[in-house]
Structure 1
């Protein structure tokens, strides 16, 4: 390429010619002007220390905590449940960001990354050497943060041996065949720690080391026996790079949120692989982590015997407010972490290119770069540039001097050793004796003694974040040229041409791409909106009817059939409806969530009952209606929707569920009606949620799939039971509920059942074990416990004390009403079973109840 001047080199045109991945497909300057007005006139280049938060997130956080009441999560009141559900939602967001699930990892909030590391150190089951075998090994890469190296004190105190590992040794000393010593002590736990990205140089260490160490294919695991665990320090890495824990399942992953989002400070997390959690020592327990214990005896029943959650509830108590920020702290405008990685690496690469080519007037280099590559591989190098400046005589310019000058130009950089003594010694060629000599000379970490006997004690680091701009590169390079380069300066044109024209190696594919969603199999049971293969309803013989009357005293009929497409919204009554694999087709397939991703129910938002969902099978749409607003419609299947819609994790009745966002249009519609930010989400068709073990009957071999229902596929109530309760309410009318009119139909609506049957005996349904409705078979799996939600008038959204108050009196303090069912019908591949109003209901009573 032709010779370039510094002006040409520092132009955006030149930069954009060499790097095509700048920005996020929009106006980068407009983004900065809107979200980061406070840094106008500032060049901020210390994102590896902490990145910057966008102003809209702080405003949203303020509005969140000003609008919602968050209580202590150990209670059961509405504010406590909101806190609990919000924090759980945050946990799912975190795991989703790292492409894993609660089935694979647990999230433990800590006061920072260092606290997360200390938690591992204190809980790891270190084993002392004995005649039975070798003790535990604590092995760590010398290019590790000080907080990681600090684990060695705890390990050594408890009998573990400490082994520092040089970066080149991991692969160089790997052996194909394990030594004899490697076959001994197979149960001894050992821990290997390494950074995904060096906070000193930005060097990225291979993530394949995780499995390599766990399988004992790499040093030091290949030379020593025992069970090997990996702690992957991801604090520096995840700020600008995607981490896929499904591919690289490290046992412990400490992270720091202010390095990712800029806020909140003082909050980090430890991601613990669930398979590993069982080996950790659980010697400490705090409030909310024990099911029961005796204060004067060593008896403890833990709530989390299968997972390491020792500090979980205690830390949640401390961080209930700041945790609400994290839910919006994901990279909100950037598309994916791959975009962040490309943007920041391009800026770091370009700064490296210019700085490494700058020469003083006598031709001597201006800078010595401290790294192991030439910024040509995004997999090997992060968005960090570490260097030392040299004067025209080749002498080191003290980092303290550079720092002070940078402050005059409003340029924010980081200098020193960056809490990474091992890397500092390696790159600056500082021996152990040099460290001791420097200490005797009075130099300690963090001071301004930057040169001792002509040798540097630290260096200069610039690091980029997702909001960094090309103007930041320009300002920094101009500052260096103006203050530290002997004029007239020159450029190493040969090196410049090579670096500018050499293309980086193949860029990684996004690990966060969306996958097309297939239409579930049962939808093939429709042609042009019509049900095909309908089951034939068998008419029972007179003999069967006679037997049933003798056994139950009456016959029963299905009088009403309700589906609730959107959880907690109004019912959609039908005369007949097909059955799907999760219950009634489209029953509770959608739910409304707040800005934190927490499910909204009528207990928190009574106005939900005023939203009327209507399903049209012919047009394949779900329509939402409410008085005063134009209806809004969405497709029934997410495969018909925009493929760019975001997937997420949510929680229903304690269960984690995978969901799909239904888009901005319906979100805006709901937000307008409810007067707060909210969205509509749908259960992902690929996700299978099973019934809780507590609802599974002994010997039951069926697999019961659930939608977004709380407990079971169906809820059935008996009109005879409703009638007896209605009489109880009428008989006890007092001053508090004298104006409350609760007729039979109003009560039926409040109990929100799918199946309503006729009958003469109240609560007889509770003695049934199985039910046949038409040609479909159902199993009764338990009674439905009621909450204050039945106190919401389904027509006005007003709250009343009834019928919960009378239900408790009527049932002797119990508040159960209705029974849960699961579908036990035999499936025919060509027929879609259908329930119809008017169908006969044939119960089977339990033997124990029959003998009463």
Structure 2
């Protein structure tokens, strides 16, 4: 059945409600769905109308908060077609916190001779797997159940269990697989409660002696990935416990979720810790306390996030108002997934081989078994895989937000990708961890690409994904199944002897910046030196430049940071290219220029009065590297805010006292490069070869070699080498300074930013993929140390 009726979007006033999506295709609703403008306006209006106080206080402001929280509990249960007579709502910080609470509080009973049992579907979220850790040392067997084994166990009719309640089993499974979008039968709830898992031996035993007959079984439904786009009728399927997060349902608020507890199962929960508001009485000088009678009062420690909870009601109202009932949302997202699946499945390379490998247990033909998620990997004409990191780069130039990896579902990832437990462990021992950019090992993918739809998704979003797939598959075909690869040869690139003369002396060029000799000229030579004083802003060419203790003096010595302290780059803020820094050595100032905004000056020497701030270098999924910086004052900050049209940005310089900044290799005495400033070398002949490839594809748009070179933001530009020959080098000698080749530069969508205008396009990234293969290498990193840090 074709569920997609051609309606482009459920939200009629889409542009008004989701204006922030202008020009983008957001396809990560399984990660987090989006909030609407009217939703936030309603929340803010309510906050302005009433005064909300601590619910534990007895006052009018407290009453407003208590009423808002009670209303949210009522509306949430109403949304799931049940009531407080059957379920209690326990607010938590999210689905993960709900699982942790349940793991701590659920009483399995039994003892070492006759333990309780925890069984979970193998294709569960990592947060469900984490329950195992809370059970360590308790008399509980732990087993993982494969979907096929679960289907077999639940296909047989089970009589109502007669076991007493002294030993308990807990079965956990997701309503929807966040990897493949498969919907698991909610009838499993009834079958599990009837004892269908008693004596089961097909599960993978992880701890204990397997399942014990005689358990009374309870069921935990992980509904976090399900309820954002599907109806959950708790009057029909009645799991004992349900966990969910609200940001997956309606985007706002984040950091809030709930554990729904069926009244028949609330006696199984006993929590050791008690916080403020959960007791009727407690003594400080004696170990004595009495918990409150209502379940949510016993389990909700401390003061609830009452303002966030008040927003839940407005979120539920918004979805109903903009999209209609959840059945309509479910049909819409399934229709988009079905539409995408059918078109992706039909894509073929010119040799007839498929363009994608889709990971699914269904044919996307039944809304009862499939949700609005589609996971896949792209294939080259010879059947080799594209790396998911490369696909992320394609998505970036097409303004598509999607997710890659295993999506915190290692069981599903292993099954669909054919990764054995031993293989995963080998990958880990080789250095691959969750969230890194190691997307292929021995040609096999370590993760997948996921597109997921929400109630505000449009057919245009799916069409853009299909367009990107067609372009990337064309790039893969042109790349010849991996692109041009160059093996190291151990050669040397030698600059003129008039280069570096002694420690601290200028680094000279054989030719001036404007000479730009042709790549065909004989003999490798350094033709241009470019200094980038402010990270990700424009550079300036110089005929010579002094060496400091860390290399090129003042190169990437400053950065622009957002209000939260994270470094800004052109990946996020292309308008940074409008900022043209210039270091004036004779006046001792850093000058920042921008057309139409004049200039601002900052002293080169750090002002002792500058405040030290803690910065987060967080430009990818691997975050947490902290460095100390010196704030450069309000004048520079105000100027940057105007130029970039961003509030709260600051200019920060390296702090000489920072431990990380002091990592300097002093062995050579000539050119010691800091970890913050790896240098990039680009060959002019490589630029010419890439431009020729763009011309052959008809996508060069008249871009000159000089303009193309600027996009690669190289510190050193050389001539006189065959294309990509620089990647064969191991050492570079500039005068009597020798630099090590750390490796090639894997490029991203930042090279698609026109450095003169800040406008973004899809080139030269697509051509680079076609010419060079999956990592899209261009240029090389030079460093004396062995760490590589992004030099954008």
- TM-score, L = length of structure 1: 0.52
Q: Is the 8 A contact 1:355 1:477 kept in 2?
A: yes
Q: Which residue in 2 is equivalent to 1:137?
A: 117
- Alignment CA distance shift 1:343-1:276 (3 Å): same
Q: Which residue in 1 is equivalent to 2:499?
A: none
Q: Which residue in 2 is equivalent to 1:158?
A: 138
Q: Which residue in 1 is equivalent to 2:691?
A: none
The answer to whether the aligner puts 1:385 opposite 2:374 as a matched pair is yes
Q: 1:332: how far off?
A: 2.8
CA distance in 1, matches of 2:265, 2:315: 28
Match of 2:320 among 321, 324, 332: 332
Where does 1:296-335 land on structure 2 (aligned, <5 Å)? 296-304=285-293, 307=295, 309-312=297-300, 314=302, 317-330=303-316, 331-333=319-321, 334-335=323-324
Structure 2 counterpart SS, 1:107: strand
The answer to whether the aligner puts 1:203 opposite 2:182 as a matched pair is yes
Structure 2 counterpart SS, 1:328: helix
- Alignment CA distance shift 1:279-1:184 (3 Å): closer
Where does 1:25-44 land on structure 2 (aligned, <5 Å)? 28=10, 30-44=12-26
Aligned pairs, how many? 464
* Structure 1 residues 94-117: Cα deviation after superposition (integer angstroms, max 9, x where no partner): 000111101111111111111010
CA distance in 1, matches of 2:448, 2:156: 39
CA distance in 2, matches of 1:84, 1:186: 35
* Structure 1 residues 706-758: Cα deviation after superposition (integer angstroms, max 9, x where no partner): xxxxxxxxxxxxxxxxxxxxxxxxxxxxxxxxxxxxxxxxxxxxxxxxxxxxx
CA distance in 2, matches of 1:162, 1:379: 30
Structure 2 counterpart SS, 1:433: helix
Q: 1:32: how far off?
A: 1.2
The answer to whether the aligner puts 1:261 opposite 2:259 as a matched pair is no
Structure 1 counterpart SS, 2:307: coil
CA distance in 1, matches of 2:362, 2:64: 49
CA distance in 1, matches of 2:90, 2:425: 38
CA distance in 1, matches of 2:138, 2:477: 61
CA distance in 1, matches of 2:351, 2:382: 9
The answer to whether the aligner puts 1:212 opposite 2:191 as a matched pair is yes
Structure 2 counterpart SS, 1:387: strand
CA distance in 2, matches of 1:234, 1:421: 18
The answer to whether the aligner puts 1:345 opposite 2:334 as a matched pair is yes
The answer to whether the aligner puts 1:111 opposite 2:93 as a matched pair is yes
* Structure 1 residues 278-317: Cα deviation after superposition (integer angstroms, max 9, x where no partner): 121132222222111222233323222x635423262xx2
62-71 vs 338-347, greater mean Cα deviation: 62-71
- Alignment CA distance shift 1:398-1:488 (3 Å): closer
Q: Is the 8 A contact 1:383 1:464 kept in 2?
A: yes
Q: 1:218: how far off?
A: 4.8
Q: Which residue in 1 is equivalent to 2:149?
A: 169
Q: Which residue in 1 is equivalent to 2:724?
A: none
* Structure 1 residues 359-393: Cα deviation after superposition (integer angstroms, max 9, x where no partner): 00000000111001100110100000011111000
Match of 2:347 among 329, 351, 358: 358
Q: Is the 8 A contact 2:116 2:212 kept in 1?
A: no
CA distance in 2, matches of 1:46, 1:429: 24
- Alignment CA distance shift 1:28-1:204 (3 Å): closer
Match of 1:479 among 468, 471, 495: 468
Where does 1:602-617 land on structure 2 (aligned, <5 Å)? none
CA distance in 2, matches of 1:368, 1:452: 17
The answer to whether the aligner puts 1:445 opposite 2:448 as a matched pair is no
Instruction: Provide the aligned C-alpha RMSD in A.
Output: 2.3
Structure 1 counterpart SS, 2:249: helix
Q: Which residue in 2 is equivalent to 1:556?
A: none
Structure 2 counterpart SS, 1:342: helix
* Structure 1 residues 227-269: Cα deviation after superposition (integer angstroms, max 9, x where no partner): 1111100000001000011111111100000000011111111
Q: Is the 8 A contact 1:128 1:158 kept in 2?
A: no
Q: 1:161: how far off?
A: 1.0
Structure 2 counterpart SS, 1:115: helix
Match of 1:419 among 399, 408, 411: 408
The answer to whether the aligner puts 1:249 opposite 2:238 as a matched pair is yes
Q: 1:177: how far off?
A: 8.9
CA distance in 2, matches of 1:166, 1:392: 33
Q: 1:28: how far off?
A: 4.7
Structure 2 counterpart SS, 1:84: helix
CA distance in 2, matches of 1:419, 1:376: 26
Match of 1:227 among 191, 212, 216: 216
Q: Which residue in 1 is equivalent to 2:619?
A: none
Q: 1:156: how far off?
A: 3.0
* Structure 1 residues 609-628: Cα deviation after superposition (integer angstroms, max 9, x where no partner): xxxxxxxxxxxxxxxxxxxx
Larger radius of gyration: 1
- Alignment CA distance shift 1:161-1:35 (3 Å): same
CA distance in 2, matches of 1:108, 1:174: 30
Q: 1:226: how far off?
A: 1.2
* Structure 1 residues 436-456: Cα deviation after superposition (integer angstroms, max 9, x where no partner): 111111100000000001111
Q: Which residue in 1 is equivalent to 2:77?
A: 95
CA distance in 2, matches of 1:69, 1:487: 59
- Alignment CA distance shift 1:52-1:230 (3 Å): same
Q: Is the 8 A contact 1:451 1:457 kept in 2?
A: yes
- Alignment CA distance shift 1:271-1:462 (3 Å): same
Q: 1:67: how far off?
A: 2.2
Where does 1:692-841 land on structure 2 (aligned, <5 Å)? none
CA distance in 1, matches of 2:255, 2:314: 17
The answer to whether the aligner puts 1:286 opposite 2:265 as a matched pair is no
Q: Is the 8 A contact 1:171 1:218 kept in 2?
A: no
Q: 1:128: how far off?
A: 5.2
Where does 1:662-681 land on structure 2 (aligned, <5 Å)? none
Structure 1 counterpart SS, 2:96: helix
CA distance in 1, matches of 2:162, 2:312: 45
Q: Which residue in 2 is equivalent to 1:717?
A: none
- Alignment CA distance shift 1:467-1:381 (3 Å): same
Structure 1 counterpart SS, 2:328: helix
Q: Is the 8 A contact 1:254 1:271 kept in 2?
A: yes
Q: Which residue in 2 is equivalent to 1:778?
A: none
CA distance in 1, matches of 2:71, 2:298: 20
Q: Is the 8 A contact 2:121 2:145 kept in 1?
A: yes
Structure 2: unaligned runs, 5 residues or longer:
201-210, 479-792
Q: Which residue in 1 is equivalent to 2:41?
A: 59
- Alignment CA distance shift 1:186-1:107 (3 Å): closer
The answer to whether the aligner puts 1:122 opposite 2:104 as a matched pair is yes
Q: 1:157: how far off?
A: 2.7
Q: Which residue in 2 is equivalent to 1:747?
A: none
Q: 1:420: how far off?
A: 0.5
Q: 1:196: how far off?
A: 0.2
Q: Is the 8 A contact 2:387 2:445 kept in 1?
A: yes
CA distance in 2, matches of 1:452, 1:414: 19
- Alignment CA distance shift 1:218-1:188 (3 Å): closer
Q: 1:198: how far off?
A: 0.4
Q: Which residue in 2 is equivalent to 1:676?
A: none
- Alignment CA distance shift 1:177-1:431 (3 Å): same
345-354 vs 281-290, greater mean Cα deviation: 281-290
Structure 2 counterpart SS, 1:76: coil
Q: 1:76: how far off?
A: 1.3
* Structure 1 residues 515-565: Cα deviation after superposition (integer angstroms, max 9, x where no partner): xxxxxxxxxxxxxxxxxxxxxxxxxxxxxxxxxxxxxxxxxxxxxxxxxxx
CA distance in 1, matches of 2:88, 2:164: 29
